[in-house]
Amino acid sequence: MRKLLTLALLMLLLASCGHAQKGNAIEKSPTGRECSVPKSATRGEDFMKAFFGNYQELIGVSALDPFKLDDPELRQWTFGGAISDLLYDWHDLDARHQAQFEAIINKIPFRFLKLYHFPNNQMLLVFEAGAWDFYSSSWGGSGALMSHNLGMAAFKLKSGVWQLTGYNLNLGRFGSYCTTRLQDKPIKIGKNDYAVLSKDVGYGVFGIVDGNPVVLLRIPHFRSFGHGDPEDFDSEIVFEPSRGNFYDIVVKSSGKNWDTEEKLNHFRRWVWSKQLNRYELKESQGNIQNILITPNSWLLDEES
């Protein structure tokens, strides 16, 4: 009986230890490895290498095996084929640059964009899957309605190291001409919450919810697209404290219609819905026809 009780107690202790280890386990990266970064690390390149398992500093990208990702949008960026056909200036590159391009052949390149340090001891690593436009120095493209796929990884400072808490390799497309532009500093959007913004014809607002990077809001028609449209306007964005989890997002737009000489203005307010767990448009007043006719139209829709 004593042996049985001892064995039962041992099994209980092992089960408790196993649960504790699982509860404190570091989130695994897309490579299947646990991912953490030393507290002293401040370079985005260090986070890229820890997250992807590799980083080619001279060309600014990490790479993943496309066969390990079940995402056709990401797999379309596979850097495959003869390098001399992919890069017109291949023979002009030095040996070190050539070696780094060769290391990512038949893989999906992810370019490092920014690393944000939030005041609440969180880090947000931002990157995009994409390709070069013929030349080794021209990451991007020439089509207005073309963009790369934005991705992010979130880290939290725990036990003296930055531990991965969640990631999303494909949050969507938020740039144009295959270029995703981002604001330099994070924005306070709640009592202890922060966000980063992409900036183009439309704006994207990104935050960390339950340890995962998410798209909090797409703001279409932040500025006019041009290309013959008589409505010329720009906007300013304000985050106003509220009772909700996140601040209200207010966008004030103003400009001029060059055909009618009419002054343009528009006011929009989005409020966070705790029940729906997303932002809802609560106010939209003004005379900008692009906003009135197609209020939710995004430059890079699913068809483009």
Q: For residues 196 and 205, what is the distance between their CA atoms, to the nearest angstrom?
A: 6
Residue in 123, 124, 104 with CA at minimum distance from that of residue 54: 104
Question: Tell me, what's the pLDDT at 1?
Answer: 43
Question: Tell me, what's the pLDDT at 13?
Answer: 31
pLDDT in tens, 23-35: 345 689 999 989 9
Question: Tell me, what's the pLDDT at 115?
Answer: 98
Domain total for the chain? 1
Q: In this structure, what are the phi and psi dihedrals at residue 192, rounded to the nearest 5 degrees?
A: -140, 35
Domain-located, residue 97: yes
Q: In this structure, what are the phi and psi dihedrals at residue 39, rounded to the nearest 5 degrees?
A: -60, -35
Question: Tell me, what's the pLDDT at 134?
Answer: 87
Domain-located, residue 107: yes
Question: Tell me, what's the pLDDT at 25?
Answer: 55
Question: Tell me, what's the pLDDT at 165?
Answer: 97
Question: Tell me, what's the pLDDT at 26?
Answer: 67
Domain-located, residue 135: yes
Domain-located, residue 51: yes
Domain-located, residue 142: yes
Q: In this structure, what are the phi and psi dihedrals at residue 30, rounded to the nearest 5 degrees?
A: -60, -20
Per-10-residue mean pLDDT, the chain, length 304:
40 30 63 92 95 97 96 96 91 96 97 97 97 90 86 96 97 91 96 96 96 97 89 97 92 97 98 92 97 92 56
Domain-located, residue 289: no
CB 265 within 8 A of CB 254: yes
Residue 278: its H or E element: strand 278-286
Question: Tell me, what's the pLDDT at 245?
Answer: 84
Q: For residues 33 and 114, what is the distance between their CA atoms, to the nearest angstrom?
A: 22
Domain-located, residue 189: no
The pTM assigned to this predicted structure is 0.89
Q: For residues 86 and 83, what is the distance between their CA atoms, to the nearest angstrom?
A: 5
Question: Tell me, what's the pLDDT at 227?
Answer: 77
Domain-located, residue 162: yes
- Containing structural domain, residue 104: 33-170
DSSP 106-161: TSEEEEEEEEEEETTTEEEEEEEE--BSSSTT-BS-S-TT--PEEEEEEEEEETTE
